Amino acid sequence: MKVTKTQARENRARIVETASTLFRERGYDGVSVADLMAAAGFTHGGFYKHFRSKADLMAEAAASGFSQSVANIAGVDAAAFIKEYVSRKHRDALGNGCTLAALSGDAARQPESIKEAFAAGIESQLATLEREDGAMGKIAKREARAKRIDTLAHVVGALVLSRACPDDSPLADEILEVCRSRILSQK
132: confidence class by pLDDT, cuts 50, 70, 90: low
Judge whether 72 and 128 are in contact, CB under 8 Å. no
First CA to last CA distance, the chain? 58
Q: Please determine, for residue 45, whether its predicted confidence score (pLDDT) is greater than 90.
A: no
pLDDT in tens, 7-33: 989 999 999 999 999 999 999 999 999
Name the DSSP letter for residue 68: H
Average pLDDT, the chain: 93
pLDDT in tens, 64-113: 999 999 998 888 888 999 999 999 999 999 999 999 999 999 999 999 99
Judge whether 78 and 64 are in contact, CB under 8 Å. no
Q: Whole-model pTM above 0.75?
A: yes
Structurally, how many domains does the chain consist of?
1
Judge whether 95 and 24 are in contact, CB under 8 Å. yes
Model pLDDT, residue 179: 97
Residue 27 Ramachandran class (φ > 0 left, ψ -120 to 50 alpha, else beta):
left
The average pLDDT across 139-153 equals 93
Q: Which domain CATH number covers 89?
A: 1.10.357.10
Model pLDDT, residue 1: 66
Residue 154's domain spans which residues? Answer: 5-185
CA distance 12 to 110: 22
Model pLDDT, residue 133: 61
